[in-house]
Structure formats: C-alpha cells, structure tokens
Chain A
Amino acid sequence: MSDLILQMRSITKTFPGVKALENVNLDVERGEIHAICGENGAGKSTLMKVLSGVHPHGTYSGEIILDGQPATFSSISDSEAKGIVIIHQELALIPHLSIAENIFLRNERKNSLGLIDWNRTNSEAQELMERVGLHENPTTLISQIGVGKQQLVEIAKAVYKDVRLLILDEPTSALNDTDSEHLLGLIRQFKQQGITCIMISHKLSEIAEIADTTTVIRDGKTIESLDMADPASTQDRIIRSMVGRDLEHRYPERVGVAIGEEAFRVEDWTVNHPTQAGRVIVDHAGFNVRAGEVVGIAGLMGAGRTELAMSLFGKSYGRFQGGRMWLGGQEVRLNSVSEAIDAGLAYVTEDRKRYGLNLIEDVRVNICSAGLKQLTKVGWINANEELRVAEEYRDSMRIKTPSVLYPVGKLSGGNQQKVVVAKWLYTDPRVLIMDEPTRGIDVGAKYEIYTLINQMVADGKAVVVISSELPELLGVCDRIYTLSFGRITGNVPRAEATQENLMELMTQEKEEVR
C-alpha cells in the first residue's frame, strides 16, 4: 500500500448560488510531485484554498486526512502549523520591505530586549535564500527584484516554516524560461529532500516533464488521476479529460445572419508590460472580424487576452510597441478611450466591478456613462431623455432592478453584466469586444447574454468574444482564434473546431510556433 500524506475525501464547497466543488477526491503520495489541471474556473484554486484553511473547516463538507489523521483547519496558520504552505499566484510580499524582513514577517528575529536583531535576521535569511538558490543580498528590497526571485522568496519563507506539503498555484505563469527552469529544478530538489509538492499549472509540457501524478478537475469534480509514468498519460490525454464535456443546448440558435464586409482588422499588434521593460505580453497579434460575425479569442490565463483587448481599446494597457488597425476598412489610430468610442469600438471588461461599473451610482447613470455625449447639449444633460434611455435598456435587456435609480452595486452579477453591456450598446459601436462576458453569472443569465450577442450581429455589428471557456466559444462563435503566450496560434472555423484541437493550440509554446 502506498504511503499517502494527504487524502481529501468528497469535498463539496458551495458559494451563494454556485457549487464550486462537488465530491472532489484527491490522494497525494508522500514525496511526489502532484500536478492539478483543469480549465479556468474548474475549481482548482478553491480546492487548494480548502486544503490550506483559507476556506475554514465548516464552510465545506467532506474531510481532509493528513498523515492518516483527520485534519480541521480554521485558518492558514493552522495548516502552516502542520507543514502545509500555499504560494498563491499573486505573491503576498510587501514590496517596500527587504527580502529578510519579508521572510521573517510575523516571526521577527528578536534579541533579549524584544528588539529586532538585524544581524540574526539577515544571516538566517541568507541561509534560507541559499537553500532555494536565491543569490541576492538579504537587505535588498522586494520591489527591486524580479517576479522569479520574488517567487523564490516565497519559497524560502515556506522552507523556514518547515514545509512538508508545498502548494504552488500556477508558479511559472509569470516567469520567463530561465526562471521557470530554475524553479522546476528547485521543486525536484525538494522532492529528493522528501517535500511533497502540489502544483497547479496550465503548462502541459511542464507537467509532463516534472509531475509524478496528474489529477484533472472539471466543473468542480475530479475526473481522473493519471500516473505520469504510464506511457498512455500523454498531453493529449490530459487535454481530453480537461475539456471532455458535451455541448448541451445552452446556446441560442443563430439563423439567417449574413456575414458582411470586414469591420475590424488588426495586424502585428505588439504590446509590452507597462512596468517591466522588454517583457512582451502581446506578440505580433493579428486578427479580423466581419460585420455580422462573432469571432472568438481563446486563451488560458496569462495568454494576454485582456491585455490585447485593452491595448486595442485606446491603448488602455501596457506600452504599445507597434501594430496597425482598421475599422470599417479605414486605418485608425486610437490613442484614448474616447477616440475608440467615437470610432465605433466598445470593450466590455472581464472585471465589471473594477473596470466596468461605478457601483455606488444608479443603473441609469451607469448605462448612460459611455454614451453621455448623445444626451448632452453644450454640456447639459437632458435628464428626461436619460431616464427614457435607461428605461428602454432595462426593458429590452430585461435588467432586473427595482428602479433605474437603484444602485448598480446591489444588483446580481448577471444583471450587473447586462448593465455593462447596455452601457456599451448605447454608444452604438460597430465592433464590440466582450471579455469573458459570462464570468461569474448563472446559467440563465448566460443564455440571455448569448441571445444579446445574436441580436448584435443580427443588427450588423461585429462581435469579438474573449473567453477561456471553450464550450462557450464553440457555442457562440463563427470562427475562433487561439492565443498562447501573446501570440495568435490558430484561426479555426467553427466547423473544424473541437475543444481538443483548440486546447492544443492554446497550450502551444513559443518554440513549437517557430
């Protein structure tokens, strides 16, 4: 019998209105590297949050067995006391403190007077840093080292806490190749020291290289665990089990929409990271979309989907490096959001609370905010007309709100999303870019959003849907582009597209493209 360090038994976790995990089982053997795969939103991160006590015992059902003993964690410090350390995608380091200060945060090295002993702090930090191969001065500030090294600081912190089970959530997604290589080497080295590692990753090649076992999660359920030593456990096999659900009748039929002239064309679009000079986020991307056509852009987290869209929308993201853009056959240069709106481009953000809505304002103000020009004469708003417009969209889009004067922040996710879409439809765009248009909304509201997309193309608009949910793209798009590491890696008509071939294109890495 194998020596299991961890068993998670029929874990079920529900959030209001959503079942995030349903009877999930996970067995991890002592000393192995265990990869967890799944689409965005499949429940991987939630599972790890249950394990590490972020979601405390009692907020989920099922049981966690650690070293053969049932474990109940009510906070992160509980799980850390048992040697479980989780390193999140967004690193939890304090930028203006030094490496050593960050490592010992909450465990400050003190002298007999209770004051911080800086010599001890820095020398002990140095030892930990050497163990993870971080060659820096311990007094260097976190803000002065790159993401790769920051990750090593997090790991040094974990080593200090006597980690036995290290959980890494997409550790290499923000790293370049050298840093990734170093990190993977470090994980292998930990394995020899007997540290067990659970790694969530989208990079299948990486998983194939390093993992002993791979567990696939889909729609909040465990699908299977693959022994990576078995030659049958290929990348294709993992892809199939990641996507293997059927397309149900969740997408409204679109009939008789004529596809017309080219409405939008982008060529060689290249954008760099806003602060990290030289880090290419969007790499010579190009695509086009015709009037009456829905085009999808498929990409995993970190592929540069949102960055591409925001950069097209009045250079709202990153540093523009080059590229050309045509709207309705005419080349345009859009340097601000208002220019983009005037040119007939609209962008429905993936993060409606942060970028899409003014939550403390009412439905009316939000709906009219982007197209306010149409309601104003020399700066004065026609208040009655504004009410009329808001009421019109409330009716036509079936926004469920007690009144158009009701704060948007109090509406449900689906209704908030409709308000965002209404806001952009009121600008009467020629091209709509919809970024994750159905994120965090329920099935019924999703259907209504898809219906709206059909109406838009029937009205002769062109729609670009960005999504990481492949069934959604297959359900609503006429054509799907795949984006991987900032590059367009495929342009697949719906008839030829399957989840498998898309996923393959979406995970294609740079070397293979060239």
Chain B
Amino acid sequence: MTTTLEAPTQGLGGAVVKLLSRNLRQSGILMAFVVVFLVFSVLKAEFLSPTNLTNIILQYSYVLILAIGMLMVIVAAQIDLAVGSTLGLTGAIATTLIVKAGAPWWAAVLAAVGVGLLCGAWQGFWVAVVGMPGFIVSLGGMLLFRGLTYRVLNNISLTIPSTPGSEGPPYVSIANGFLNGLLGGYGYDVFTIVIFGLAAVFYVVTQLRARAGQLKYRQEVSPLPVFIVKLVVICAIIMWFGVQISQDRGLPYILIILAALIMIYTMVTQRTSFGRHVYAVGGNMLAAQLTGVKVKWINFWVFVNMGFMAGVAGVVYSARMSSAQPSAGNGFELDAIAACFIGGASTLGGIGRVTGAMIGGLIMAVLNNGMELMGIEESYRQMVKGLVLLVAVAFDLVIKRRAESK
C-alpha cells in the first residue's frame, strides 16, 4: 500500500521540478514574489489586511499599466524613457479640462488618451522613420513632454475640487471608486466575490482548453495531478484575494481596468501576428526583415501603444491624486522598466511576458508597501529596490549562461 502511494508521489515531485525548471526564469521570479509576500505577512500582520491589499492595488496600478506598455517596447529591443513625462502631461491636460473648462470626465479621459497617442506617434516617427535609437528619442521626449506639462499647468499644481456629498467627482473615482453592495453582503461584498469566482472559472476553462489543444497535437503536458494541483492552488489564491478585498470597500474600478488590460495585452503579445512580429523584431531584426516583417511599422506602433498606455496611466494617476502636479510621474519610467527586467524580460529584446512584468511590478509594489508599513525610511527603501533589481537581472544572466553551457 505504502509503495503504491509513494511511487506516484515521487513522479509528481519530479513533474513539479520539471514544470518549474522548464521556465526557471518565470518561476524563479514567481517564487521570489511569494517569498517577499510571506516575509511581510509574518513581519507585519497589517500587511494582509483587506484595506492594505486594496491600497496596494490603488497605489501601484499606474506603474503596472506603464509596465504593460513598456514590456512590448523592451521586447522590441527599444526603451522609452519618456513615459513618466507623458503621464504627467496627459494627467495635466485631463485635470485642466475638468477644472478650467468644466469638461465631463469622459472628455477628459479621451483627451488624455489622445494626447498620449500623439506623444507615442511623435516618438514612433523618430524611431521608425528617421531611424534613431529609442533611448535618444525618448530622452528628448522626456524633456519635451515635461516642459509641455509645466506650460499646461503654468508651473503650479492644479487640484480637482471635491464635490459635496460622499461621492467624489466622477473623474476622481476612476482611481478611487469601488463597485460595492450591488448584490448586498454582510461585511463581505458578494458582488466582488462573484466576480473573483468568475475569474477563477475563466482561468480554469482557458487552461483546460489549452491543455486539450496541446494533447490533440501530441505536445508534452504536465501530468494530470500536477496540472490539477496547479489549478487548485491558483484558484485558491484568486478566491482568497477576492474574499480579502470584499471585506474592504469592494471591487475597485481600477482593478477592473487593470485586469482587462492585462488580459488584452497577454492575448496581443501571445496570440496575434502583431505580437509575434514584436518578438521577431526584438529577437533577430535582420531575420525578421528577411521574413517580411515591416520592422519600421512594428517599432512605430510599439511606441504609439506605449503612449496610449502612458495616457491611461496619466488618467489613473491624476485621478488618484485628484490633482495634477508639474512634476507628476518623475522617475516612473524607471519603475516600469525595472518591473519588466525583474519580470524576466531580456535586455537584448525578444524575450519577456506581460505576466512576468506584472509580477515584477508587484514585487516592487509589495516591497515598497511592506517597508512603508514597517516604518522603514525612504532612503533604505530606495536601496533595497536597487539591490532587488540587480539581483533579479544577475539571476537571469546566470540562468542564461548555465543554459548555454549545457
């Protein structure tokens, strides 16, 4: 009896090791995230509280949004240093429209996103048509858009006045509002839990479909027990998180926006020919060219997309702050870039995933939040983040070297 039980367990263990080592890059970073998360949970009980978990999402969502766009830029073997300034400019324009022109929230959002697209197209033009490296183009863009932000705001910050009553202005609630009480609940918002339940179901269904497809075409898949354990663990995490969130203010709008963006961009990068071409250009530009990929257009659209995401992040950030400051977004480009590299993107281009960048961004967010809760000074927080970036990329290099020497 014991032997029959032991044998599959060993096989299972082997399969888990295989699953992890097959994508050591991604799983290494995932494990790092889990470790950081657990360490803070132990050190500070508040860390796991519903309010704090909700705050992490509200506070760091704009970096995650930037990181999604940045991932595609980095996979295309480019870099965009102007996203912080673009975020500042788009937020300033939206805020100005609302405060000075009394524009409705949706007009402000459209204007911000439109300006973001224009900024992206401007940079895309210099990179794709003139053929300059993105580093230089975006260094110029960083100064140019920051200067424009100062102009728009006349060098002073602009606050959106709060409206009477409990509800804030609609623009502000984009980043501070919640869906709550739609289905009632007693301390637990039922609607939030239902949404998370649906997310878990969606995850299970897509995983099952992918597995069925792989089996149909004789691809190697992880053994069924491992697959089931993986599904159960991930669903458990989703539901635990949902229950925690539901005990606070409900489902943040921003979480819905973020989840939608992550899903869309995971699909775009993995399942569209555009996404495929971005990887091709970053992986081997010459080969991509001789395969018929329009390298210039890909570079152009990658920058346009980055501008779009910076516009979205500009809305989210200014709404979160319910104001626009001339210096808003200073240094955010570095957070976004760090998130991508921690998340396993290659500095040479051609490698990287949206999910990786999200985990990379969350590691930074959790580190920041956890250290804040523990009352660690900003100076030390900066140092820790810097070291984490170094260690993560060094780890990545070691893995790569080991893979090559095999």
Residues of chain A having any CB pair with chain B under 8 Å? 310, 313-314, 316, 336-338, 340-341, 347, 349, 354-361, 365, 369-370, 372-373, 376, 379-381, 383-384, 387-388, 391, 403-405, 423
Contacts and interface: CB of A to CB of B under 8 A. Distances in A.
Contact of A360 (B213, B220, B271, B283): B283
Interface of B: 213-214, 216-220, 271-274, 276, 279-280, 283-284, 286-294, 346, 350-351
A381 B279 contact: no
B290 A355 contact: yes
Contacts of B283: 358-361
A405 B219 contact: yes
B280 A357 contact: no
B307 to A, nearest CB: 20
A57 to B, nearest CB: 25
A356 B287 contact: yes
Contact of B276 (A354, A381, A403, A405): A381
Contact of B290 (A316, A381, A391, A405): A316
Nearest to B217: A387
Contacts of A313: 290
A81 B272 CA distance: 58
B214 A387 contact: yes
A137 to B, nearest CB: 31
A361 B350 contact: yes
A380 B287 contact: no
B392 to A, nearest CB: 19
A391 B351 CA distance: 23
A332 to B, nearest CB: 15
A391 B218 contact: yes
Contacts of A373: 273
B287 A355 contact: yes
Contact of B287 (A357, A383, A404): A357
B290 A356 contact: yes
B280 A380 contact: no
B217 A384 contact: yes
Given A354-B286, A357-B284, 5 more contacts: A316-B290, A354-B287, A359-B283, A365-B279, A369-B288
Contact of A403 (B219, B272, B273, B292): B219
A313 B218 CA distance: 36
Given A381-B273, A384-B217, A387-B213, A355 B350 contact: no
- Most B-side CB within 10 Å, residue of A314, A355, A391: A355
A44 B286 CA distance: 29
Contacts of A391: 217-218
Nearest to B400: A360
B80 to A, nearest CB: 22
A339 to B, nearest CB: 8
B287 A358 contact: yes
Contacts of A365: 276, 279
A347 B272 CA distance: 25
A129 to B, nearest CB: 35
Contacts of B287: 354-358
A154 B284 CA distance: 32
Nearest to B216: A384
A360 B351 contact: yes
Contacts of B291: 337, 369-370, 423
A380 B350 contact: no
B350 A358 contact: yes
Given A354-B287, A361-B350, A372-B273, A387 B294 contact: no
27 contacts: A310-B290, A313-B290, A314-B292, A336-B292, A349-B290, A354-B286, A354-B287, A355-B290, A356-B290, A358-B279, A358-B280, A358-B283, A358-B284, A360-B284, A360-B346, A360-B351, A369-B288, A369-B293, A370-B291, A370-B292, A379-B272, A380-B271, A384-B213, A384-B216, A387-B219, A403-B220, A405-B219
